[in-house]
Amino acid sequence: MSRQAIGVTVVLSILAALIVARSLIGDGSGRVYTRTVTTEMVEVRLPASDPAAVDEEQARQGQVVTEEAWVPVDSEEAKKYASEGAATISWTSRKNVPYSQVRASPDDEGISFSWSQTLGIWLAALLTLAIFSFLYKDNPIYKTAESLVVGVSAAYWMVVGFWDIIIPNLIGRLAPAFVEANFTPGLTDLEPQWRYLIPAIFGVLLLMRLAPKGQWLSLWTLAFIVGTTAALRMVAYIEGDFITQINATIEPLYQVVRNADGTTDGYATLWASIRQLILVVGVLSCLTYFFFSLEHKGAVGKVARVGIWFLMITFGAAFGMTVMGRITLLAARFEFLFDDWLWIIDPNKQREVASVISMITG
Amino acid sequence: MGFFERIGNLDRRWIFLLMGLAVAIPIIIIDVTGFIPPELPMPKAKSTFQTLDDLPAGSKVLLSWDFDPATEGELGPMANTFIRQCAQKGHKMYFMALVPVGAQMIRSTTSDVIGTYYPDLVYGEDWVDLGYKAGNEAVVKTLVTDFNQMFPSDARGEPLSTIPMMSGIKDLTAFDAIVSVTAGYPGCKEWVLFASTPLKIPTVVGCTGVIAPQMYPYYPQQIQGLLQAIKGAAEYELLVNDWVRRDQFRNTLLAMGVEVSGEDSMGDLPSTSEELDAWAGDHVGKGLTEAQATEVRGFASEKKAELVAPVDAPEPGLFLEAQKRMGPQLSAHILMLVLIVLGNLTYFVTRRRGGGR
Amino acid sequence: MKRTVPLIITATVGLLLIVANFVPALSELSEDGTTFFSIIAAIAFVLGGGSLLKVHLKKLSDRDRGWAYSLIVLGSFFVTLVVGLFKIGAPPNPAYPDKPWAGGYNEPGTFFNWIYEYLFYPLTATMFAMLAFYIASAAFRAFRAKNFEAILLLGTAFIILLGQTAAGPALTNWIPPDGPFAGLRLEELSAYVMDVFNTAGSRAIVIGIALGIASTSLKILMGLDRSYLGGGN
């Protein structure tokens, strides 16, 4: 181990020791408390909001048309319309409680320690550190975390695609009655739309890529994807990026800025005109640089060189902005570690008394 | 070995450690001291605020959360502030996402802002979560002509026909503004090219530092507001926080029977009852009539206290996130500059000595 | 058959979508096209998951180096998939509590949401946050003011890095904000660089890319560019 490596190891060990110490002193850290909330619903027959849609005949005769609905047991509607022995369903969910409240009312039996969320916070913190460990050097802990990312995100996208698109937009069109009965109650248009077989078939063809034989069939779907993307982009880019951008550039070089009383503000006019001039020169010279049909020699070469200067400034700006973005992301991760896990900081004033006192008294 | 040779051979883990400390230490200092780095709103943040402020209350605003946890640190604060401005102004908010995890971002930002600070807003009447749809620009393109075909139901599985605020929305032209908070592709560029440019809908964009430079050419012709990275978010946050305070003051006064006329007549808000008396005197003819000013000065002391109490109340931490994150930004930027200078010095010195690599 | 059908599909879909921009009567067909695209994009997620499965199952069965990591990939994949698809732990939909499948798959309280919150979120967020470290290391090792172009790049980066934080105003506060040199205040200078120089450069790039996309699209639609069909016959 080189001297530098020993130095880094020592510093990191000190940081690790501080973290362990922090989780042992005072109120500890990384804990989540929740309050259990019970929701109880009762089935009632409410006067229909749109009677004609429920029963046209009765509505025309002026009779009261009702429809079934579930309302909270303690709501006004439940008191008014619920019949004896009406069906009820109840379930519980948990709401997070800030730690200051836990401390303020230690006898409140509705509040309980949440094992699942506390474990979650610790897991999230340890995984964050596992990824950071790559900065020291590549190691099995980092590789484990990396494998988790791969597995979880692939499945995550599949689940989202299934519930957010395949069910409502595809199955909901091909078998609306089934979807209405199970997943999306209240759908009104229950006629199957058979033209949605087309994306279904294309989808199956796409999945042929995974099959041992007939992989070439997936090219048909790929052709559809490529054709759609090409057509959509061609029109939009020409309109929004080509024509409109040229339009925005070709403005008079002499930009008049007027004072409130209508007279010309000479100073401002000068600067606005210079600004416009730089803009036009910049765009034209950069475009000259991109134009490879002419050799970059002589006048063209000089203009192209100015173009390079403009592009360098653009890249410099892009670099500065990128640095800014990356640092923010790191700051957000540290905030998570310090706030949710270690309870060193408290930006949302959730632990007011607790964290400050415990920090001081230990 | 001289200083520069030693620096030149520095283990990069020392640089990592320095960067870590440059970001971590200010976070703790800012939390302990409560110090918030000063911000100066620049024109782009102002026009972002103005675009949404100019719309009358009740306007329909489409908010597309096209980002995921990877960039939440940069974009989350501006997303929260967009919701705050729209909610305070009384706009109808329609949330959707072009990236898969955007749906979760909608869930967390709405529960943080609407759930905590605007609990009176009714789901389905004041705001709706349409969730995520796959297909990138194809989604935007479909919405331009037909909303229902893309969204048979909202993210909670409610058919759109049963959601009150969806009635009358056939396509994108029904919206008065589009807000896109974007991490990359797909996102604001797709909104600009496929919706705002052809339909001429006012559009404001909040984006990461990485793509912000690419969005500049669209301003102000194709987008009317642009928040770039955490800096834009901090400026916008400051503007909205200030405005919300004024708006709440105005609303409290209205609830007490005093209607302030005119748009920008609030001046420095009073934080004590003496200041309130002076404020009322100063604003005669500037939003208040003589009679109204006398009425305000004649308020009972409890009423005055109720009026001035929120003016100095601390801002919720949620709406200071971006401004606070400018602290680590400052120290880390300075570290970057020092590193670049040191790197170059090392390079030139060692090269001159014949040891350049 | 293997190459002709895809070419016909590309040309037909493309032509239809382009013409629909100008012929309102075709707009419904074009909507169908883009809606189908959206559905296929969702099915592509299944393809993505399937491919991942294929690769890692093969690694596992071959006992390749690092097969244990493939086991972790597969394990986390299946767990996430099962809890998501079966909505494990999902509370009922309050409006239809009698329909057990009508609840949200990613509501707070579901196991899927737990995985999102405590696995997916910290992992992906930290992966991106790591870049802050590498960008610092790169700044130290790679940014050399070797020539005029590099000096321009570095100079701009300096102005932006200073001007975008409180350091800018602090360093140039002595320049009066209303005077003739107000534009030299770092925050103003950085805004000017972004608004003028960066806009000019970015605009040229945008115009160039637009032309590139338009010509590539045309070539694809006309069947001149067939690279997407893969090599060979």
For residues B83-102, one letter each, b for 16 or more C-beta atoms within 10 angstroms of the residue's C-beta and e for the rest, the string is bbbbbbbebbbbbbbbbbbb
Reduce the DSSP state of residue A230 to 3 states and report it.
helix
pLDDT above 70 covers a percentage of chain C that reads: 98
Inter-chain residue contact B216 with C132, CB threshold 8 Å: no
What's C108-173 look like in SS3? CCCHHHHHHHHHHHHHHHHHHHCHHHHHHHHHHHCCCCCCHHHHHHHHHHHHHHHHCCCHHHHHCC
End-to-end CA distance of chain C: 11
Chain A window 104-123: which residues touch C at a Cβ cutoff of 8 Å? 116, 119-121, 123
- Does A172 lie at the interface with B, CB-CB under 8 angstroms? yes
CATH number of the structural domain spanning residue B147: 3.40.50
**B232 pLDDT above the threshold of 90:** yes
For residues C34-67, one letter each, b for 16 or more C-beta atoms within 10 angstroms of the residue's C-beta and e for the rest, the string is bbbbbbbbbbbbbbbbbebbeebeebbeeeeeee
Helix axes of A218-236 and C4-20: crossing angle, nearest 10 degrees: 30
> What domain range is B115 assigned to?
43-240
* DSSP at B192: I
Beta strands in chain B, from DSSP E residues, in sequence order:
60-66, 92-97, 127-132, 177-182, 203-207, 225-228
In angstroms, the CA A83 to CA C74 distance is: 52
**B8 pLDDT above the threshold of 50:** yes
Residue-wise DSSP of A327-341: HHHHHHHHHHIIIII
What A94-97 contacts at long range (C-beta under 8 Å, 24+ apart), as own/partner pairs, is A94/A34, A94/A35, A94/A36, A94/A37, A94/C109, A95/A34, A95/A35, A95/A37, A96/A32, A96/A33, A96/A34, A96/A35, A97/A33, A97/A34, A97/A35
In angstroms, the CA A143 to CA B39 distance is: 41
H/E stretch holding A343: none
Of residues B84, B89, B95, B86, the one with CA closest to residue B154: B95
Bridging pattern class, strands B60-66 and B177-182? parallel
pLDDT at position C225, please? 86
Helices (H), A208-265: 218-236, 244-249
**CA-CA distances (angstroms) from residue B4 to A7, B1, B353?**
19, 8, 11
Determine the distance in angstroms separating the CA of A275 from the nearest CA of chain B, rounded to an integer.
14
Closest alpha carbon within chain A to B315: A348
Give pLDDT tens digits along chain A (362 positions): 677 778 888 888 888 888 888 777 777 788 899 998 888 898 888 887 777 777 777 777 877 788 888 888 888 888 888 888 888 888 888 888 888 888 888 888 888 889 999 999 999 999 999 999 999 889 999 999 999 999 999 999 999 999 999 999 999 999 999 998 888 888 888 899 999 999 999 999 999 999 888 888 999 999 999 999 999 999 999 999 999 999 999 888 888 888 888 888 888 888 889 999 999 999 999 999 998 888 888 899 999 999 999 999 999 999 999 999 999 999 999 999 999 988 888 888 887 655 555 555 54
Q: Report the residue from A181, A279, A307 with minimal CB separation from C196.
A: A279
Inter-chain residue contact C197 with A313, CB threshold 8 Å: yes
pLDDT at position A352, please? 66
Inter-chain residue contact C104 with B149, CB threshold 8 Å: no
CB atoms within 10 A of CB B56: 9
Region C95-107 average pLDDT? 86
Q: Which of B133, B339, B345, B346 is best to mutate for the C interface (most C CBs within 10 A)? A: B339
Region B28-52 average pLDDT? 91
pLDDT at position C232, please? 45
Helices (H), C63-120: 67-85, 111-115
Q: Report the residue from A8, A239, A329 with minimal CB separation from B13.
A: A8
Report yes or no: C165 and C183 within 8 Å, Cβ to Cβ.
no
Counted across chains A and C, CB pairs separated by less than 8 A come out at: 423
The residue ranking higher by pLDDT, A25 or C98, is C98
Amino acid at position A285, single letter? S
Question: What's the pLDDT tens digit per position in B52-85?
Answer: 999 999 999 999 999 999 999 999 999 999 999 9
Side-chain half-sphere exposure of A287, counting CA atoms within 13 A: 19
Tokens of A78: 């439940």
Report yes or no: B228 and B41 within 8 Å, Cβ to Cβ.
no
- Does A182 lie at the interface with B, CB-CB under 8 angstroms? no
Tokens of A335: 């905030």
User: Mean pLDDT across chain B, nearest whole number?
Assistant: 91
Highest-pLDDT range among A272-276, B13-17, C71-75: C71-75
Q: Report the residue from C27, C95, C125 with minimal CB separation from B72.
A: C125
In angstroms, the CA A171 to CA C30 distance is: 21
Report yes or no: B258 and B288 within 8 Å, Cβ to Cβ.
yes
Question: What's the pLDDT tens digit per position in B320-357?
Answer: 999 999 999 999 999 999 999 999 998 888 888 765 44
pLDDT at position A261, please? 85
The burial of A281, by beta-carbon neighbours within 10 Å (0-12 exposed, 13-18 middle, 19 or more buried), is given as middle
- Does C211 lie at the interface with A, CB-CB under 8 angstroms? yes
Cα three-residue angle A239-A245-A249, rounded to 5 degrees: 145
Tokens of A13: 């060990």
pLDDT at position C231, please? 58
Chain A window 195-234: which residues touch B at a Cβ cutoff of 8 Å? 228-229, 232-233
Chain C window 8-37: which residues touch B at a Cβ cutoff of 8 Å? 27, 30-31, 34-35, 37
Q: Which of C28, C34, C156, C189 is best to mutate for the B interface (most B CBs within 10 A)? A: C34
Residue B233 pLDDT grade (very low, low, confident, very high; cuts 50, 70, 90): very high
Region B179-207 average pLDDT? 94
Determine the distance in angstroms separating the CA of A245 from the nearest CA of chain B, rounded to an integer.
7
**B189 pLDDT above the threshold of 50:** yes
- Does A15 lie at the interface with C, CB-CB under 8 angstroms? no
- Does C64 lie at the interface with B, CB-CB under 8 angstroms? no
Partners for A (CB, 8 Å, 3+ pairs)?
B, C
Region B271-292 average pLDDT? 86
Question: What's the pLDDT tens digit per position in B120-161?
Answer: 999 999 999 999 999 999 999 999 988 888 999 999 888 888
Report yes or no: C127 and B70 within 8 Å, Cβ to Cβ.
yes
Helix axes of B12-33 and A3-24: crossing angle, nearest 10 degrees: 30
Say which residue the tokens 């793509």 belong to.
B211
Q: Where are the domains of chain A?
A: 33-113, 266-340
- Does A177 lie at the interface with B, CB-CB under 8 angstroms? no
H/E stretch holding A188: none
Cα three-residue angle B326-B329-B330, rounded to 5 degrees: 95
pLDDT at position A362, please? 45
pLDDT at position B93, please? 97
pLDDT at position A358, please? 54
End-to-end CA distance of chain B: 16
Closest alpha carbon within chain C to A208: C47
Q: Is residue B141 part of a domain?
A: yes
Report yes or no: B144 and B150 within 8 Å, Cβ to Cβ.
no
Question: What's the pLDDT tens digit per position in B86-111?
Answer: 999 999 999 999 999 999 999 999 99
H/E stretch holding B111: helix B102-117
Q: Is residue B281 part of a domain?
A: no
C96 φ, ψ (degrees, to nearest 5)? -135, 65
Report yes or no: B209 and C160 within 8 Å, Cβ to Cβ.
no
Report yes or no: B225 and B235 within 8 Å, Cβ to Cβ.
no
Say which residue the tokens 């009322």 belong to.
B280
| Number of independent structural domains in chain B | 1
Q: Report the residue from B11, B31, B320 with minimal CB separation from A345.
A: B31
* DSSP at C179: S
- Does C45 lie at the interface with B, CB-CB under 8 angstroms? yes
Inter-chain residue contact A334 with B328, CB threshold 8 Å: yes
pLDDT at position B336, please? 94
Closest alpha carbon within chain C to A114: C109
H/E stretch holding A90: strand A88-97
CB atoms within 10 A of CB C197: 24
Closest alpha carbon within chain C to A153: C120
A28 Cα distance to chain centroid: 32
What C64-71 contacts at long range (C-beta under 8 Å, 24+ apart), as own/partner pairs, is C66/A143, C69/A143, C69/A144, C69/A146, C69/A147, C70/A147
H/E stretch holding B265: none
Tokens of B144: 């331009």
- Alpha-carbon Rg for chain B, nearest whole angstrom, is 24
Residue B259 pLDDT grade (very low, low, confident, very high; cuts 50, 70, 90): confident
| Edge-first strand listing for the sheet containing B177-182 | B127-132, B92-97, B60-66, B177-182, B203-207, B225-228
